[in-house]
Chains A and B, each alone.
Chain A
Amino acid sequence: MSAGAAHAARGAGAGAGARALVNARLLDPAGGLDAPGGVIVENGRIVAVGAEVTAEAARSRGIAVENILDCAGKWLLPGLIDMRVFTGEPGFEYRETLASASAAAAAGGVTCMIVMPDTDPVIDDAAIVDFILRRARGTSKVRVHPMAAITQGLKGAHMSEVGLLKEAGAVALTDGRKSVASARVLARALAYARDFDMLIVQHVEEAELAGPGVMHEGELAARLGLPGIPRQAEIIALERDLRLVEMTGARYHAAQISCAESVEIIRHAKEAGLPVTCGVSINHLLLNEHDIGAYRTFFKLSPPLRTEEDRVALVEAVNEGVIDVIVSSHDPQSADTKRLPFAEAEFGAVGLETLLSAALSLHHSGQADLSRLIAALAHAPARLLGLEGGTLAEGAPADLTLVDPHLSWKVEESALHSRSHNTPFENRVFEGRAVLTLVAGESVFDYHAGA
């Protein structure tokens, strides 16, 4: 029996806001946990977890009956941490605010958003980091941590104030949608970030080779008459970056990979002991280039959707742990940037609200291992960014997602909480979704209460 559960069993008085979720299937890959049981939450933290946490144990601890939720076998996961979220705040509030993104996050079981610096002004200054954190405290339902720009103004030339940004609360550095193109600039940024133990997160794309490309270069692009982005644009960028990691010893994370070759490159780098990790967007695990169909711009993504073979390789890499993190790559775009000829439309798709359900579909179809999925959605981002959370361990923040694994729901553009509705999963029926989302023990979304 764990210490916390023993404590619970002794029936000590319950602390502030104490509540219990019992009779759940506890899924916590960080602790190797997949077993029936419950958790007790006090003062915003998990104070007891395990099979011993039953309704009786909660009552004997002094928790009122109305604060004990019988989960009836539903799944209890650590709240998801989405490592790649674009909002429009500040600068493009008509697309998305921190508040609207957080509503989408809560509805999707995401309890922590890592927001990208591609705002106006760019998050490349401690004052903007502070602004984001204050706005988030005032308006966001879920936790928010910003990543700051590697280079000032995302221009790829001059390093931003890494130390001051970190002090202000930035959790990593990235140039967001852009890749740091100059090897010299990136090498220096890596060397400098290393001194502050800041993770460098890179969009891996050789911009010169990608050129004006708008989709995967291959037969389909040739047929549609659209300029392609060859897979080599990613491969070359990734291989070059890893040489610089080797040179500097800095921690490096490839934000999203899209091709089978990249999986092998990361695998070898890890085997060689380099401090390298990588992510993948949920879109690239479910979709391929053929989903573009008749120039459907909601499937115009960066990196582009690639072939079915690539998709399968990426899913397998999640199973094997070569890919560490799954992100939504939530990128709200309005009608005026999407209802255009394919080549003119912006890249990007919203995804906070569908991330978890889409990941569950990979489990239901037997493609992906459930505990690997949860690890990649919660524990791995926490570990990489040095955040608490991503686990159901005692003492962890009570950021929890209760999942009804078989609840069937249809994605309807108009029902999405995000201010922009550019979802690639419109009208898809998913099996399973978040039905209750808690941040610091407080409910921020309750599916059945319609909130």
Chain B
Amino acid sequence: MERPAILNSRHLLGVAGLSIAEITALMDLAEEYVALSRQREKKTNLLRGRTQINLFFEPSTRTQSSFELAGKRLGADVMNMSVKGSSVSKGETLLDTAVTLNAMNPDLLVIRHQHSGAAELLAQKVSCAVINAGDGWHEHPTQALLDALTIRRHKGKLENVVVAICGDIRHSRVARSNIILLSRMGARVRIVGPGPLLPPSAERLGVEVFHSLEEGLRGADVVMMLRLQRERMDGAFIPSEREYYRFWGLNEERLRLAKEDAIVMHPGPMNRGVEIDSSVADGPRSVIREQVEMGVAVRMAVLDALARNLEREAAA
């Protein structure tokens, strides 16, 4: 029985190209996988015979294991390739690696890379479907999808939901993908952070820009905190860790400025006591653990959707 197509493109390189219909369909499908993942029998055989390669040029425990689990629950053969210590550090380029992997006939290639545009470049050179699991500062589409799903489950909708994305927006692919996806779905997106951590021309991204955490939190339905890399807290972008915590860290007192039923999100891994207090991260309004659960479901939905396209291509 042929299942309906969900995605128009053969790759998922970013959320920038997704329509409202595609996003909604992916979230609806992910809901089905949430239910499946809560059962005793979590496995299907939809992707039986398919090979999925997770190619990670940057270390990432949670995204990589999330993709791995998603592929396995759908019945695919999953191979993880972490690049530290492999041929890429011996001078082999991204494209050499791509050509080599392509020769092994994978069906789905999940890539994480430190440079923006790496997934796009790879997609031009391989014949399988490519999923961007984060490229530089550019996009992290499955993270934005899982965040949107988490918000929708709590707020019942995305339209007119006020989402405050706080912290290092400039260097964050999570922020970029969320800004694009949530705005497209009708949410009112705010970005909140100190000047050096905001992207240039921030006001032209279709968001409201706040230079004070208190102002940015006021009346928010969703508070999304971002991780701040420690190497950016040594005076290069902000003066110190403690100064950042003092002015930009989320604690219970500041959280009270947001709506009473506001939820708190974080893509992880967290710097407790820097951008977020443990009392908030582990508190009643935190949905951080649910985000991880949604991650697996969303990635199953994406893998399923792209595999459907592969079947269509083969049939055509």
Contacts and interface: CB of A to CB of B under 8 A. Distances in A.
Interface stretch (A30-38, A177-185, A214-222, A353-361): A214-222
Contacts of A341: 94, 113, 115-118, 121, 135-136
A218 B138 CA distance: 14
A342 B116 contact: yes
Interface stretch (A188-196, A225-233, A406-414): A225-233
B90 interface: no
Interface in B200-217: 200-202, 204-205
B93 A339 contact: yes
Contacts of B176: 222-223, 225
B200 A230 contact: yes
B135 A222 contact: no
A296 to B, nearest CB: 9
A343 B199 CA distance: 17
Contacts of B120: 294-295
Nearest to A216: B200
Nearest to A217: B200
B139 interface: yes
Contacts of A230: 200
B137 interface: yes
B136 A226 contact: yes
A295 B117 CA distance: 6
A343 B205 contact: no
Nearest to A218: B201
A225 B201 contact: no
A340 interface: yes
B200 A225 contact: no
Interface of A: prevailing SS: loop
B200 A228 contact: yes
A219 B121 CA distance: 22
Interface in A289-312: 294-295
A336 B93 contact: yes
A224 B170 CA distance: 11
A340 B57 CA distance: 14
B176 to A, nearest CB: 6
Contacts of B121: 295, 339-341
A232 B137 CA distance: 23
B73 interface: no
A224 B118 CA distance: 11
Contacts, number: 69
B201 A340 contact: no
B72 interface: no
A219 B206 CA distance: 11
A222 B201 contact: yes
Contacts of B136: 225-226, 341, 343
A219 B209 CA distance: 14
Contacts of A225: 116, 135-139, 173, 176
Given A295-B120, A295-B121, A341-B115, A219 B204 contact: yes
B69 interface: no
A320 interface: no
Nearest to A336: B93
A344 interface: yes
A132 to B, nearest CB: 31
Given A225-B139, A226-B136, A342 B117 contact: yes
B95 interface: yes
Interface in A277-327: 294-295
Interface string B79-111: 000000000000001110000000000000000
B116 A339 contact: no
B222 to A, nearest CB: 22
Nearest to A221: B200
A225 B117 CA distance: 8
Nearest to A294: B120
Contact of A342 (B115, B200, B201, B205): B115
A343 B116 contact: yes
A226 to B, nearest CB: 5
A298 B82 CA distance: 29
Contacts of B139: 225
B205 A222 contact: yes
Which residue, B94, B115, B120, has most C-beta atoms of chain A within 10 A?
B115
A218 B199 CA distance: 8
A391 B123 CA distance: 50
A219 B199 CA distance: 8
B152 to A, nearest CB: 25
Contacts of B137: 225-227
Interface string B14-26: 0010000000000
B143 to A, nearest CB: 14
Interface of B: 16, 93-95, 113, 115-118, 120-121, 135-139, 173, 176, 199-202, 204-205
9 contacts: A222-B200, A224-B138, A225-B139, A225-B176, A226-B117, A295-B120, A341-B113, A342-B117, A343-B115
The 9 closest A-B pairs by CB, nearest first: A225-B138, A295-B117, A341-B115, A225-B137, A222-B199, A225-B116, A219-B201, A219-B204, A341-B118
